Structure 1
Amino acid sequence: MDERLQERLQERLPEGLRVRLRSLVPEVTEIPAPEAGEIPGLSGAVAYWAGEELRAEEWFREVERHWGPPGLVMRRGPEVLGYALFAPVEHLPRSLSLPVSPASRESVLLAYAGGGPRTRRHLLVRVLREMRLRGVGVVEAIGSDAGLAPYHLATRHLMESGWEPVESGRRWGLRYTLTRVELANTVEVAELARGLIGRVRIPSFGRAPAPGMYRGYGDGFSRSSTAPRTPRNRYPKHPSERTPTPV
């Protein structure tokens, strides 16, 4: 929540009663190096993909210096909902020892995204948006087909989110699939979708029905050919209100 709005709301509270309003809308931000070790699960993911030689804070600081922040975190107030870890392959040596590997050491790899299903899906979208802003054309990820390999996204989840499979391989009974997203195509599809939405005419209420169309049930109209018929009065008049019949 905006700090100014929070201050205005607190000013209206009785004197002596001060509460810290908590934002209900999750917020996604870059992970600064000093906070990398405080995010649950992130240190383990860094150790798996980058090795245990450096702590998470040190690894983040090194990648920031050469490339930029390598992670995003989603929070609701002080609560951490999930995180995403990504970097050029040269900073993620584990990716070169798996049965499938990115084509180039300069490729950008989405290593892992932690959190619930909805959180991960939202983080995947934000990662692609961030990579597009940094000028990255292709992002790859190594998924676990069974969803059992630690610190790997499930291949099914990646493909449901629009990632395309490239190749698969097996090691120690687990199957891995290299997937890829071309951001130029993603932007093109998004622009096409916005164009289609712009061409849709939303009907306004209160217009007369077109010939041969139905109006709402119970309004006294039925299908018409050229013009709607006069609605019938469902309730007969009282005898005192009837027009006398001429003799």
Structure 2
Amino acid sequence: MSVSRRVVGLTLDNLEDLPGACRTCLFWELGPLADPQPMPPEEAKLAKESWLSATLLDWGSCGKVAYAAHEPVGYALFAPPGFVPRALSFPTSPVSGDAVLLLNAYVAPHWRSAGVGRMLAQAVAAELVPRGVKAVEAFGSTGPLSRGCLMPVDYLRSVGFKTVRPHPAYPRLRMELRSTVSWRYDVEYALERIFGTTVGSLTPAR
């Protein structure tokens, strides 16, 4: 059975559609010098809302949420490194001056290998290219599983990223946005998702 799909911007109205662990995670927002004791969940939620609100007001859209029918099945979060205190703590920092940082991308387990990750990557590109952003960069994890809020290097490469600063554990990768959306099909595919058009169908991975 197939279902419709769409991607919309992340706002305070749909922040609750993020997975619970992501909804209260402040790994990127607080930085390495923050209190090592985790915040209570409700306090963490408020801090996440505060960060999102400030970023939306000062910079603009900084996230996308993917839906299959009415179910949230994935999301991507991104921002300029100046909005991300954790960005300077990696051995492969800093992020290039012409790029934004992809903080995280998540796809629900039963929707993986069904194109949702690429759909999110294209939606992010379609959001950022008209705003003059040249590239998206990310700190990857080379381990068998992503560490904390880091994404596996294999996933990043699968959606168009290339390594720009190698490291045995935390390489920095980059996706040139104009090359990503240079083909007509990709442009149309991304724009359909970014404007929330319900088109096509998506079958859950078995």
TM-score scaled by length of structure 2: 0.71
CA shift digits 1:14-64 (9 cap, x unpaired): xxxxxxxxx92111000112432442143244x111127762211111001
Q: 1:154 to 1:193 in 2, by over 3 A?
A: closer
Higher relative contact order (CA 8 A, sep 6+): 2
Alignment of 1:70-149 (within 5 A): 70-104=62-96, 107-115=99-107, 116-117=112-113, 118-146=115-143, 147-149=145-147
Give, as a single letter, the amino acid of the residue that structure 1 aligns with 2:73.
L
Give, as a single letter, the amino acid of the residue that structure 2 aligns with 1:32.
T
Secondary structure of 1:122's aligned partner: helix
Q: Which structure shows the bigger proportion of residues in strand conformation?
A: 2
Give, as a single letter, the amino acid of the residue that structure 2 aligns with 1:123.
L
- Asked if the contact 2:55/2:83 (under 8 Å) is kept, the reply is yes
Identity %: 31
Segments of structure 2 that go 5 or more residues without pairing to the other structure are 31-38, 188-206
Q: Distance in 2 between matches of 1:34 and 1:121?
A: 24
Alignment of 1:1-247 (within 5 A): 24-40=3-19, 41-45=21-25, 47-51=26-30, 55-104=47-96, 107-115=99-107, 116-117=112-113, 118-146=115-143, 147-170=145-168, 175-188=169-182, 190=183
Q: CA RMSD in A?
A: 2.6
Segments of structure 1 that go 5 or more residues without pairing to the other structure are 1-22, 195-247
Secondary structure of 2:151's aligned partner: coil
Q: Distance in 2 between matches of 1:193 and 1:70?
A: 21
Q: 1:76 to 1:101 in 2, by over 3 A?
A: same
